[in-house]
Amino acid sequence: MNLKRKTLVLVSCVFSFLLLEHRLRPPAEELRLSDWFHPGKRPDVVAITDWLAPVIWEGTFNRQVLGRYYGRQNLTIGLAVLATGRTADQYLEVFMRSANKHFMSGYRVVFYIMVDDPLRTFKVLPIKGDRWGDFHLTRMSSLAEHILGHIEDEVDFLFSMTVNRVFQNDFGVETLGASVAQLHAWWYFKNKDIPYERRPKSAACIPFGQGDFYYDGSVIGGRPLEVLTLIEGYLQGVAQDHKNGLNSTYERHLNKYFFTHKPTKLLSPEYSWTAALRPPAQVWLVKATRLSRRYF
């Protein structure tokens, strides 16, 4: 038997052994939705969607069960934020201080600060583009580059948020999922005149009479490659609209994406409340508050 054939036989034997070992190994314990999520405890709100995705409200989830499960997973969670020019000066410090205290407390977190003047600490990521150009286009295209370049190999889950927020209470592992969407604080409680894109020629169009929820574009999350797929869908929609002489908003493109690609988990308005609004009775515990939208 020649050397090449001996090598192939050895590799085949090793592969067969590893495959047998994998088959004999007891499967990893899976966390079922019913183990930790109890929508019946919040009959005052929509706690589960028509496509059976959970909507995370305070009172619907069991922190202890989630903590035991995710505590064994050796997770790393990424949080990406774009902070340029005046927005960095005005919001970044309070964002970071509050995130350090409340975002995924007890878990390994990598903060990705996307800046045009990298004088900050943490993991600073340079961005491309004009700081006075389209904020969301810059944010999404830069994030896509970094996901492909390194983020997908560094974290298990990734969130991207605008910097104009203050975390006030625990923003924990109950929010983790393959594709995570944030319900809009204002439009969740206003069930008419939802500002979807209605022009048929726009890539962001959701026809009249259709639509699920209105999503807040300031928070997206999920597995890194799921976030990348969302960004690619957004950029393709922008390019198509530009070709047709149209210009829809980032949030409308995001809502079209989630209309056609249903998120696996939705975050209630408690996770991105608006500072100018008084929380209604359905909002039990505000996890994060959005500040002025002047630059957003």
Check if 29 is active-site.
no
Distance CA 67, CA 172 (A): 9
For the chain, the DSSP string reads --HHHHHHHHHHHHHHHHHHHHHHSPPPPP--HHHHB-GGG-TTS--B-TT--BEE-TTSB-HHHHHHHHHTTT-EEEEEEE--HHHIIIIIHHHHHHHHHHBTTTSEEEEEEEESS---SSEEEE--S-TTS-HHHHHHHHHHHHHHHTGGGT-SEEEEEESSEEE-S-B-GGG--SEEEEE-HHHHS--SS---B--TTSTTB--TT--S--EEEEEEEESHHHHHHHHHHHHHHHHHHHHTT----HHHHHHHHHHHS--SEEE-GGGSEETTS---TT-----EEE---TT-
Q: Is 102 annotated as a binding residue?
A: no
Flag whether 184 is marked binding.
yes
In the set 174, 197, 251, 270, the catalytic residue is 251
Known catalytic residues? Answer: 251
Binding residues: 184, 251
